[in-house]
Amino acid sequence: MTTTTETIHMTSQEWIDLGMKYGAPILWSCVIVVVAFFAASWVRRLVVNACERAEIEPTLARFFAKLTRWVILLIAGTFVLNKFGFETASFSVLIGAVGLAVSLAFQGTLSNFASGIMLMIFRPYKIGDSIIAAGQTGTVYEIDLFSTTLDTVDNKRIFIPNTAIFGAVITNISFHEKRRVDVVVVLHHSASIDKTRAALTEAAKRIPGCLPDKPEIVLVEMTAGGITWQVQVWSQSGEFLAVRQAAMREVKIALDSADLPFAVAPSVETKR
């Protein structure tokens, strides 16, 4: 009976010693983690506001804010390790070994990270730009360290790995303030050259929304399939689609009014 009581007493004492030894570090670690998360969020907002006052592009502002947040959390993690008696100097060797193993396992992720850094440095596009990248077209919503987020015209959100973007051709549609609108028509051989040019010229002058730059009416080629023309006008980049629709409408109306026939596609004979 005495032995059982002593065993229980010793077990309870061990729990008390264990609590005294690790209770305070655990409590302080929880405090550090909570404070670090709140501080990281506060500093992140502070960096964004400072960048906005300094008129820094939103792309770089978000990058700096996220980088600052992760640095604060990393410092907090170091303090937590110190509370449990880990030597950060020797621990860095272990981190290096683990980092090597992780880097081999996540080569694709690290490649996306490196591509994200390069996109931040060279900045082929920024938030709000309309781009064509990795076979996708949309407006840049966010540029992260690992991926770029696009919003399409039909309201879809697309996440593209940065490696797929940085290693391929990037077309920045909205980089310049104005764009050229091209409307191509193929007319029948019976259509008069001079009459066609005059009709297309009048149509180009009536297109709403186009810039006052002189429109160009180009005779592209004459083939067995018909005579190809191209109407070229200029618009603001943000008005490109609207101006293109208006241009096609005016060209069609002008050609119909002048009784200029379109080329007829050759019929396809059904093989039996």
Domain containing residue 189: CATH number: 3.30.70.100
On whether residue 267 sits in a domain, the answer given is no
23 with 69, same domain?
yes
On whether residue 271 sits in a domain, the answer given is no
pLDDT for 114: 84
pLDDT for 210: 92
158 with 188, same domain?
no
CA distance 44 to 73: 12
192 with 150, same domain?
no
pLDDT for 3: 46
Domain containing residue 141: CATH number: 2.30.30.60
CA distance 230 to 156: 33
81 with 40, same domain?
yes
Burial track 183-217 (b if 16+ CB lie within 10 A, e otherwise) = bebbbeeebeeeebeebbeebbeebebbbeeebeb
What global pTM score does this model have? 0.60
pLDDT for 232: 97
Q: What is the separation, in whole angstroms, between the first and last Cα of the chain?
A: 104
Domain count, the chain: 3
pLDDT for 8: 46
pLDDT for 112: 81
pLDDT for 40: 79
158 with 221, same domain?
no
On whether residue 263 sits in a domain, the answer given is no
On whether residue 163 sits in a domain, the answer given is yes
End residue of a domain, out of 49, 75, 105: 105
pLDDT for 1: 46
On whether residue 192 sits in a domain, the answer given is yes
On whether residue 135 sits in a domain, the answer given is yes
Burial track 135-172 (b if 16+ CB lie within 10 A, e otherwise) = ebebbbeebbbbbbbbeeeeeeebebbbbbbbeeeeee
14 with 100, same domain?
yes
197 with 220, same domain?
yes
On whether residue 262 sits in a domain, the answer given is no
> What pLDDT tens digit does each residue of the chain (272 aa) get?
444 444 444 566 566 665 656 666 677 778 777 887 888 788 878 877 877 776 666 766 777 777 777 777 777 777 777 766 666 555 555 556 555 555 544 566 678 878 888 888 888 999 899 999 999 999 999 888 789 999 999 999 999 999 999 989 999 999 999 999 999 999 999 999 999 999 999 999 999 999 998 899 999 999 999 999 999 999 999 899 999 999 999 999 999 999 999 987 654 443 33
98 with 26, same domain?
yes
End residue of a domain, out of 172, 190, 207: 172
86 with 13, same domain?
yes
Domain containing residue 77: CATH number: 1.10.287.1260
pLDDT for 24: 66
- Domain that includes residue 155, residue range: 122-172
93 with 153, same domain?
no
On whether residue 266 sits in a domain, the answer given is no
With residue 131 as reference, give the H or E element that holds it: strand 130-133
Q: How far is CA 33 from CA 30, 46, 80, 188, in A?
A: 5, 20, 8, 76
